[in-house]
Amino acid sequence: MDPGDLVLRGGRVFDPAAQRPIDQAADVRITNGRIVEIGRGLVAPRIIDVRDLWIVPGLIDLHVHLREPGQEYKEDIETGTRAAAAGGFTTVCCMPNTKPVNDQRAITELMVRRAREVGAVRVRPIGAITQGLEGKSLADIAEMKEAGIVAISDDGRPVMNAGLLRRAFEYARTFDLPLVQHAEDLDLAEGGAMNEGAVSTRIGIKGQPACAESSMVARDLEIVEWTGARYHVAHVSTARTAALVRDAKRRGLPVTCEVTPHHLALTDEACSHYDTRTKVMPPLRTAADQEALLEALADGTIDAIATDHAPHSPVEKDVEFECAAPGMLGLETALPIILDFVRMGTLDERRAIAALTGGPARTFGLPGGTLAVGAVADITVIDPERPLTLTADSISSKSKNSPFLGQTLAGRAVLTLLEGRSVYDLDGRIK
Ligand code: DOR
Ligand code: ZN
C-alpha cells in the first residue's frame, strides 16, 4: 500500500495528551504519511470506515527488550517490532542488555540499521550507562548519542556506585539524555526472587523488600538535585517510590517515571503457584502498592505506561522459580490490560491513552505521540471492546512467556499505521 490519500472515517479521534486535547467524532485525512486534516465529511481515494473505533496517536513504549543482537532465540528486531505493531505501538525504545551490550556506536548503528531493514515500527535504542553493564566505567555515551540513542540505562541492573552515577548524570546532562535507572539496591535485594512479604513467607521463596527499590530512588534524587540531570525511574513498583517521585516533581526536579501494565494488574499473589511467568524484576508487589500505582498514574506522577517486554525461552523459564530469568511479554497485552482498568472505572480513559502516547513522547523528547494536523501519521485504531484470546499461536513474539496466556482480554488495536502505511491490520480493512 502506498502512503497516498487515505481517510479514516467516523472514528472517535482521541488525543488527550495534545496541547489542545482532542476528543471528537471525526474523520482523519492522511497524505504522504502525514495527517493533513481532521474534520467531517472528508474524502480521499481510499476511505476506511472506523465507526465505533478510537483513533489515537501510535502508542509509544519506552521500555522493551528486543534481544537482538545476540539472543535471537528469544526475540529479534523483526518479531519484536511485529509484536509491537500488533499491540498498537509505532515506536519502541529498546534496552541495551543485548549480547554484546549496546555500549558503543557500532552496536547502536547495528540496531538502527536492522530496524530500518526488518523493523515493522520505529526503534529508538537506549545506550548503556556503563561498559558491558558492569557498573565500573562509563560507556561511549557521546558516540552512541551521535548514532541515535534516546536515553541511557543499565536496565536489568542498577547503577550501584553513587560516584559513577554522579558522573553518568553529568555526562547525560551534557547530551540532554535522560538517565533511566533500574532501581534495585542489590545489597537490600539479596537476590530475592519475588516481593518480600506475607506471600513469599507462605510459599517459601526468598523475597526482596520494597525498600530495595525506593531507597535507591531516594539516593538518586539527591544526586539529581546536585547535578540537575534528567532522571527517569524505570518500572516503578512500590507505593514509596511513587511517593518519592511525586514529591520530587513538586520540588521541580527533572524527574519522570513509568509503570508496567503487569505491576498495575497483578500482585505477588500471582506467584503463589510458582509460575515462573510471574517472575519479573522488580517483582510483583502487594495490593496496596498496586493501588498507589494506579493513583500515581491518575494524578500524573507516573508519566508513561511502558511494557518492559522481556521475552524468554523455555530454557530460562522451565526451571525452579529461584533460577528462572525474570521478565514477561508485554507488547501484545498492554492495551487490553489498560483498557480493562478503564472499563472497570478505575482509570480515566484520557490518562490511559495519554500515558501510552503523548506522555512517553514528552518523557524522552521523542517526536510523535500526537494527532495534530501536520504530524507524521503514526496512528493506532483501537476497538475498545474487541476480545483477544491470548494463545501461543496468536502471539507475534518469538517467546510465549506471558502469564495471560489462555485468557481472554478485551480491547485491542485493530489497525496500526506507520507514516500512513499499514503495519498491522487485524480485519484487512486496507486493501
Ligand atoms: O523482568 C525483567 N526482565 N526485568 C529486567 O530488569 C530485565 C528484563 C530482561 O532483560 O529480561
Ligand atoms: Zn529493568
Proximal ligand: closest to the CA of 327:
1
Nearest atom within ligand 1 for CA of residue 312 = 11
- Residue with cell string 484487512: 428
Compute the average pLDDT of residues 147-174.
98
Asked if the model's pLDDT at residue 232 lies above 80, the reply is yes
For residue 161, what is the DSSP state?
Answer: -
Which residue is closest in CA terms to ligand 1's atom 6? 156
pLDDT of 431:
77
- The CATH number covering residue 21 comes to 2.30.40.10
Assess whether 143 and 22 both reside in one domain. no
Nearest atom within ligand 1 for CA of residue 182 = 6
pLDDT tens, residue by residue, 399-416: 999 999 999 999 999 999
CB 93 within 8 A of CB 124: yes
Which residue is closest in CA terms to ligand 1's atom 1? 327
Cα of 309 to ligand 1 centre, how many Å?
Answer: 8
Assess whether 25 and 174 both reside in one domain. no
Q: Is 430 inside a domain boundary?
A: no
The CA-atom distances, in angstroms, between 306 and each of 2, 69, 91, 157, 222 are 31, 22, 11, 17, 25
CA 368, CA 382: separation in Å to the nearest integer? 18
- State the catalytic residue, choosing from 103, 185, 268, 308: 308
Compute the average pLDDT of residues 239-251.
99
CA 170, CA 145: separation in Å to the nearest integer? 15
CB 207 within 8 A of CB 231: no
Structurally, the chain folds into a number of domains equal to: 2
pLDDT of 4:
64
Assess whether 22 and 159 both reside in one domain. no
Compute the average pLDDT of residues 4-33.
95
pLDDT band of 104, cuts 50, 70, 90? very high
Assess whether 202 and 231 both reside in one domain. yes
Mutate to test the pocket of ligand 1, among 61, 62, 63, 65 (most ligand atoms within 8 A of CB): 65
Q: Is 155 noted as a catalytic residue in this protein?
A: no
Compute the average pLDDT of residues 375-401.
97
CA 213, CA 186: separation in Å to the nearest integer? 9
Cα of 390 to ligand 2 centre, how many Å?
Answer: 24
Asked if the model's pLDDT at residue 191 lies above 60, the reply is yes
pLDDT tens, residue by residue, 341-363: 999 999 999 999 999 999 999 99
Q: Which domain, by its residues, includes 280?
A: 58-364
Residues with CB under 6 A from ligand 1: 65, 97, 155-156, 182, 280-281, 308, 310, 325-327
Compute the average pLDDT of residues 235-239.
99
Q: Is 370 inside a domain boundary?
A: no
Proximal ligand: closest to the CA of 233:
2
Assess whether 306 and 343 both reside in one domain. yes
Instruction: Examine residue 69 and say whether the peptide bond preceding it is cis (omega within 30 degrees of 0).
Output: yes
Q: Kindly state the helix (H) or strand (E) to which residue 94 belongs, with its residue range.
A: strand 89-94
Mutate to test the pocket of ligand 1, among 280, 309, 398 (most ligand atoms within 8 A of CB): 280
Query: Which of 83, 91, 5 is CA-nearest to residue 370?
Result: 91
- The CATH number covering residue 72 comes to 3.20.20.140
Q: Which residues crowd ion ligand 2, with CB under 5 Å?
A: 155, 182, 234
Assess whether 385 and 279 both reside in one domain. no
What does pLDDT average to over the chain? 97
Nearest atom within ligand 1 for CA of residue 155 = 6
Which residue is closest in CA terms to ligand 1's atom 4? 281
Proximal ligand: closest to the CA of 97:
1
**Nine-digit cell string for 33:** 504519511
Nearest atom within ligand 1 for CA of residue 95 = 10
Assess whether 75 and 159 both reside in one domain. yes
Proximal ligand: closest to the CA of 310:
1
Write the DSSP string, 54-76: EEEEPEEEEEE---TTT-TTT--
Assess whether 263 and 410 both reside in one domain. no
Instruction: Report helix, strand or coil for 212.
Output: helix
Nearest atom within ligand 1 for CA of residue 310 = 11
Residue 7 pairs with which residues in a beta bridge? Answer: 29, 47
Which residue is closest in CA terms to ligand 1's atom 2? 327
How many residues belong to the chain?
A: 431
Q: Kindly state the helix (H) or strand (E) to which residue 9 belongs, with its residue range.
A: strand 6-15
Assess whether 51 and 85 both reside in one domain. no
Residue 309 pairs with which residues in a beta bridge? Answer: 64, 328
CA 146, CA 163: separation in Å to the nearest integer? 25
Which residue is closest in CA terms to ligand 1's atom 5? 156
Q: Kindly state the helix (H) or strand (E) to which residue 117 belongs, with its residue range.
A: helix 105-118
Instruction: Examine residue 311 and say whether the peptide bond preceding it is cis (omega within 30 degrees of 0).
Output: no
Q: Is 30 inside a domain boundary?
A: yes
Which residue is closest in CA terms to ligand 1's atom 3? 327
Assess whether 200 and 134 both reside in one domain. yes
**Nine-digit cell string for 249:** 516533581
CB-based contacts of 50: which residues, under 8 Å, 6+ apart? 8, 9, 10, 11, 381, 415, 429
Crossing angle, helix 105-118 and helix 77-86, to 10 degrees?
60
Least confident of 1-10, 240-249, 258-267, 380-389: 1-10
Tell me the Ramachandran region of residue 191: left when phi exceeds 0, alpha when psi lies from -120 to 50, beta otherwise. left
Residues 137-150: b if buried by 16+ CB within 10 A, e if exposed? ebbbbebbbebbbb
Assess whether 255 and 343 both reside in one domain. yes
pTM given for the model: 0.98
pLDDT of 204:
98
pLDDT tens, residue by residue, 271-305: 999 999 999 999 999 999 999 999 999 999 999 99
